[in-house]
Structure 1
Amino acid sequence: MDDLVQSRDGSPSEADNALIYPLARAGERPERRIPRAPEAGLARSLERRRLQAYIGMLIVDMLVLNASFAGCALIYLGGTGSAAAVQDGLLPGHLLLPIYLTIALFNGSYSRSCLVDWVCASKKAILALVVSGFVLNFLAFFAKMNEQFSRLIFLVAFVTTGVLFVVFRIALARFLISRWGPTAVNTLVIGAGGPPFRLYHAYHVDAHEHALRPDVGDPVALDRLAKYLRNMDRVIVSCPSETRHAWAEVLKGSGIQGEIVDRLTYEIGALGVEHHDGAGMSSLRVSIGHLGMRARGTKRLFDLGLTIPALIVLSPLLALCAVLIKLEDGGPILFRQRRMGRGNRFFDIYKFRSMREADEDGERSASRDDERITRIGRFMRRTSIDELPQLINVLLGDMSLVGPRPHALGSQAGSKLFWQVDRKYWQRHSLRPGITGLAQVRGLRGATDTERDLSERLGADLEYLRQWSIWQDILILFATVRVLVHDRAF
C-alpha cells in the first residue's frame, strides 16, 4: 500500500484530514481506505496540543479578569481618580484571581471536555467565578476590607468577566472543533473479525488488510501495530471471542485507553465491570441507584414540605369535590387502582372518581366523548383536580410530587401493552412515580393512541432520571401550573 501523504512537519497533509473523520456524517462521504501507517502514525498527536490549549485558556482567563477590573475602574473613575483610587478599584481583581484559579483548576474548568463543549466549559467557569466571588467577599468582611472596594466597579467588572469567559469559550470550542474534530481525541477502530462497528470521527482500519496481529510472541508484528497506535488517545477493537484475550494483552501494553467491542454488554446495558479476585471471576454491572441517600432524603423532605401545607390549604376544595361527586350519583368518592411504583412494586393510587364505571386495569383509555365520564368528573379531569387525592399517596411515600407518571397495568399504546413497546419501559420505575413529570409539562399526556405516544413519554421519563436535581423538580412544578388545563384531558 502507498504510505500516507505527509506534510513538511511529518504530519498528515490537509488533503488527508478527511481520513481522520471518515464518517463525519452518515451518507455524507463514502468511507475511504486508510493507507499503511508511517513511522509518525496515522494522526498528529493531540496530547501536547491539548496541554497548550489548557495553558492558553488559563492565560486568557487571567488577562480577561484583570482587564475587566482595570477597564471598569478606569472608566468609572475617569480622569478624576487618583492613582491610589484606581489601585483600589483594581484590588478586588487582584484578590479574586488566585481564588478563581484555585477553584477552576479543581472543578475541571481546564479539562478535555471543556475544550470542545462550550456549554460545559462556560458552566464550570461561571461556577468557579461565582464561588470565588462569594469567598472573596466573605474573607473581606472578616478582614474589614469591604470599605476599600467599590461595589459598582466590582459588580460591573464581575459580570463583564463572566460574559467574556463565555464568549471566549464559544470561540475556542468552534476553532478547536474545526481543527481537531468534535471530540479533541484521536480514536482508532480496528476491525479484526468481530461484529461490524463504525464510530463517527475516528480512524477505521481492517486488521486483515493492514496485516495487524495481536501476537505477543512476534516483536515485528507488535512494532507494526504500534505504528497504528502511535499518537492515538483511544483504540477500539472488534474481534471474535477467541482472540479477545490476545488483543487485550496487546492493548494493556500500549499505554493508551484500549477497548474490546462486545455485543452482549450493549444488549444487557452493562454500566461497568466488577472484578472479584476471591472468586476468580468478573461480573457486569447492569444497574445502579439513580439517587444516593442524600438526594433521596432531599427529595423526600421537599415532597413533605409542600404536600402537608397543600393538603391543609386545599382541604375546602377537596371537601367540595367529595360532596359534588356524592350528590351526582351517590357512588364512591375516591377511585382506587393498582399501579406499578418504585422498584416495580404495586401500590394503590387514589383519584377522585370521575367515571360511572370503574376500569380496574385501565385497558380502555378515556376518549373525548366518553359516556362513562360524569358531569363533575369531566370538569375535574379537564382541570386536573381529579389528581389531587394523590397528595395522600405522596404523604404515604408511594409517590413523589415529581417523577414518571404511574401507569395502569392494562394500559396500551396502539395494540400493545406499554412494556411490549420498548424494553426500556421498566427502567422508569427506579424512582417513585410522580403526580406530575417532565413528560406531562411537555404536553405528553392523555390517551396513547399510537406506540409513538408511549415512546415519547418514555424518552422524557428516562431523561428525567438521568438529569435529576431538586432544581429540576422545582422547575417542573412551576411548569405544571401552565398545563393544569389542557385539551388532552377527557
Structure 2
Amino acid sequence: MPGVAEPDMALDIAAPTEPLPGATDEPGHLFPPRPRLAVRALALILQDAIVTVCMAAFCYGLFNPLHGVRVPSAIVAMACLILCTILSFFERGLYTAEAVMSRQLHARKLVLAWVQAVATGTLLTFCLASAANDVGLPALSGMIAMLAGPFVPTLLAAGIFPLLAARLLRIRAHGGPATLNRTVIIGEHDCVHDLLMRIGTGHQRAFDIIGVVEHGAAGTQACKARRSFRGLPAFSGIDALERMIRQDAVDTVLVALPWAAGDTAQAIVRRISLAPIDVYIYAGMKSLDMPLHRTGAPFDLPLLMACNRPINGWRGSLKRAEDIVLSLGLLTFISPVMLAIAIGVKSTSKGPVFFRQRRVGYNNHVIEVLKFRSMYTHLSDADARQQAFRGDKRVTPLGAWLRRTSLDELPQLINVLKGDMSLVGPRPHALATTAGGLALEEAVPIYSSRHRVKPGITGWAQVNGHRGALDSVEKIVHRVNHDLYYIENWSLGLDIKILWQTVRLVFADDNAF
C-alpha cells in the first residue's frame, strides 16, 4: 500500500490485562465454538430456494401438458421466481439476524412474502414473455397462457405449506441456544438476577446467556468467592468483559444496573462501544444521557439499544458472498498478470516474491497481509516506524511502479478468500504506524471503531483522495471520518461504486507512491 513501510515484525497493540482463570492465548477459549450466523442465514436462503424450485417444478409438470411450454422457458420463469422469492423474503425481514436466531415461525410474514414473491415473479416473467413475442422469439410465448390460467393460484397455495414445514423442521433442528446471540450480562446483582428471570421465563429466548459480569465492589467480592451466578460462569470487572469481547466470544452485552446508576451505565457503554457487538440497556435505566433506540420483536424484553454491530445479519452474508464471488473471479481473470509481476519481482531484486505484513484487522485482531514485495529486503523498516515517501530509496524500480498503480496489493485477494479482509473496507494499518508522531489511537480516540468491520483492499477514504503517508493528525482524522461514513452507510451499491472508482484511480492517482 502506498505510504506504508513494509515491516516484518509486530508490536502488541492490546493493553496488557490480567488473564482470566484458565485463559490461553487463543481467541474464544472461554466458551465452546459457536456456529456462524452468516452460515445459518445462507443455509436458510438455500433452503427457501430449493423449496421454491421444487414447487415451481411440480406446478410446471401439472399444467405444462395443457400449454406445451418448453423447458428453457420454464427455467427462465423459475429463475425469476427464485430471485423474487429471495428479494421478497429479504424485504420482509425473514433473513435478519433476529429471524435467523428466532424460535418463532413468523408465519404471517412468510405468507405475505410468498404472495409478494409469486406476484412479482409472475409479473416479471409475463414482461419477459411479452418482450420475447414482440421481437419474434417464441421461446416464452407459451408462458403467457400458462400464467393466465390456474398455474399461479396453485403455486400460491401449494408453496405455502412446504415453506412453513421446512422452517418448522429447521427450528426443531437448530432453534436451540446454539443459534442465538452469545450474550453476557453486566451489572449489579439484583438487576442481573431480575433480567435473568425475565429471559428464562419468556416464551422465547432471543439470547444465549453465556456468562455474567458483576459490576461494583460488592459484586466483585461475591463473584470472586463463588465464580458462578445461577449456574452461569461469573466474572468480575469490565476488564474481564473486554477480554471476552476481544476473543470474539461475545455477540451481545446487556447492561443491567439500578435507575440511579446512569453515569456508570454510560461509562460501560462508552468503554465497549468501539467493539463489533450489540449493546442493550435494560429498560430500568432511564437516567441516561445518550441516544437509545427501542428494540422490537422477537426480543420481547424491555431493552433499549445503545449501539449495534454494523453490516450484520443478512447484510453481512451478502457482503461476504460479494467478496467470495468477486475475488474468485478477479483471481481467475488476473492470474496471468500476477504471474508476470511475480517473475518481475523475483528477477529484479533478491528476496521473496511476497511480503507478509502484520496489520490490525477486525476487532483489533492482528492479521497477516500479503503484498508483492516492493522494497529491497535489507532496507525494509522492521517496525514500520518510517513510512514510505516519494523518492524513497528503499523502494525498487519495479516496486515504485507497483506501488504507484497499487498492483502490489493484488495478493490481498487471497486474504479476502481466507476471510481476514474484505474487498472494500477501512484500509488496515501496520502495527507501529503513527500520524504526526502520535500513535493512531492517541491521534484519534475513536480510531478503533473502524475495526468493527473487516479491513478492505480499497475503501471510501482511498477513492476520495486520502492515501499516501500519514504525516499529520489531520490526515488520519479525515481517513477515520470517511471509514466511519462507509461503515454506517454500507450498501452493495456503495461497494460497487468504490470498486469502480478504484479501477479508475489505478493509473491516475498522484497520492500513490
Please indicate the TM-score interval, normalised by the length of the shorter structure.
0.3 to 0.5
* Structure exhibiting the larger radius of gyration computed from Cα positions: 1
Q: Which has the higher contact order (CA 8 A, sep 6+)?
A: 2
